[in-house]
């Protein structure tokens, strides 16, 4: 699913990138709309970071085209950098500088006038809840505060496109919530956001998702449409031994996939009405129980396994 041509902020076509014998990205094509929060979802090694680095112009593709508005990112990476910000997994904060000094450094790096820096940094610090900490050394901040400071630094030059590579990994839930509040406000102001994430609840918050596997986009659509595209019906089974439930059902007739989800097992079946009594009987025959079986709406993790994975992931 692509954005309408007139609304495209980022156009990527047939991107290929290898590292020696490793084919990290294999023919990735996608159009990302202005003001969209576009998510890249996939396991380690799926190609998320490589795609991010190519979009940012810091890694040249072996072949393919990337355009940011009217800028050819491959041919003119320095020109593209003025219109975007890239926040890698390990953003380059200077821990021996204060919050304010880090922001000023990045403002100078992007040639932002001093007056604009002061106005912009005040607005961003307020939005990030960092005003009381502006004179604190960056090295003394919590992990969540460091990520929010990194975002403030990335936004100091008012980019049109923001690229975030797993920005909330290892961040506490409250800071993750605050971080997303900032992203929503940026989207409302017209900023295009592309992010990769390991958190499936964050993937649900994106406008559209690209499900990546082995360097390829296997599915790309809104979270709602991806869920609708998932074949079969989903049952949540709660029992004292969820691993035993998983192992008993993974190869059962009509079972399309089984996924451990904490103290439950999500089982995807071809026909819920038909398979529910069969599953109950199969578990009872193996002395697994009692078990509670409930139809549930799929989450993005269920969708990913169904549409991309093996269908029987543990």
Q: What CATH number did the domain enclosing 249 receive?
A: 3.30.70.100
Q: Which domain holds residue 255?
A: 230-307
- Residue 84: predicted pLDDT: 93
Cα-to-chain-centroid distance, residue 288: 37
Which parts of the chain register pLDDT below 70? Answer: 1-6, 309-314
Please give the order of strands across the beta sheet that includes 84-87.
84-87, 161-165, 192-197, 37-41, 208-213, 216-221
Residue 61 counted as domain residue: no
Residue 302 counted as domain residue: yes
Residues 6+ apart with CB under 8 A from 138: 93, 94, 95, 96, 97, 98, 99, 102, 146, 149
Q: How far apart are the first and last CA of the chain?
A: 30
Residue 142 counted as domain residue: no
Residue 236 counted as domain residue: yes
DSSP assigned state of 137: B
Residue 256 counted as domain residue: yes
- Residue 201: predicted pLDDT: 84
Residue in 242, 245, 256, 272 with CA at minimum distance from that of residue 306? 256
Residue 47 counted as domain residue: no
Residue in 290, 239, 233, 277 with CA at minimum distance from that of residue 247? 239
Residue 239 counted as domain residue: yes
Residue 95 counted as domain residue: no
Establish how many alpha carbons lie within 13 A of residue 50's alpha carbon, considering only the half-sphere containing its beta carbon: 24
Tens of pLDDT along 183-202? 998 999 899 999 998 788 88
Tens of pLDDT along 80-109? 988 999 998 877 889 999 999 999 999 998
Cβ–Cβ < 8 Å for 40, 89? no
Q: How many domains does the chain have?
A: 1
């Amino acid at each position: 699913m692509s954005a309408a041509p007139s609304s495209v902020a980022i156009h990527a076509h047939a991107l290929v990138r290898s590292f020696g014998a490793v084919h990290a990205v294999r023919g990735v094509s996608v159009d990302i709309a202005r003001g969209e929060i576009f998510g890249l979802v996939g396991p380690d090694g799926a190609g998320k970071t490589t795609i991010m680095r190519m979009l940012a112009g810091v890694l040249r593709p072996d072949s393919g085209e990337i355009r940011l508005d009217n800028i050819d990112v491959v041919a003119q990476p320095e020109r593209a950098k003025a219109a975007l910000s890239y926040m890698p997994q390990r953003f380059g904060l200077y821990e021996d500088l204060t919050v304010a000094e880090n922001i000023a450094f990045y403002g100078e790096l992007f040639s932002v006038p001093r007056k604009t820096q002061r106005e912009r940094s005040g607005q961003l610090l307020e939005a990030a809840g960092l005003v009381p900490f502006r004179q604190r050394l960056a090295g003394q901040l919590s992990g969540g505060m460091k990520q929010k400071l990194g975002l403030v630094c990335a936004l100091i030059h008012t980019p049109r496109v923001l690229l975030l590579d797993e920005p909330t990994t290892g961040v506490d839930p409250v800071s993750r919530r605050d971080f997303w509040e900032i992203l929503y406000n940026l989207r409302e102001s017209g900023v295009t956001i592309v992010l990769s994430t390991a958190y499936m609840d964050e993937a649900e918050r994106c406008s559209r998702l690209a499900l990546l596997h082995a360097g390829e986009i296997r599915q790309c659509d809104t979270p709602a449409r991806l869920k609708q595209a998932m074949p079969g019906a989903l049952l949540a089974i709660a029992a004292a031994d969820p691993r035993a439930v998983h192992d008993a059902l993974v190869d059962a007739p009509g079972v399309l996939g089984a996924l451990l989800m904490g103290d439950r097992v999500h089982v995807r079946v071809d026909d819920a009405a038909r398979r529910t009594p069969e599953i109950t009987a199969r578990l009872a025959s193996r002395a697994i129980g009692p078990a509670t079986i409930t139809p549930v709406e799929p989450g993005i993790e269920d969708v990913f396994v169904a549409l991309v994975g093996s269908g029987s992931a543990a």
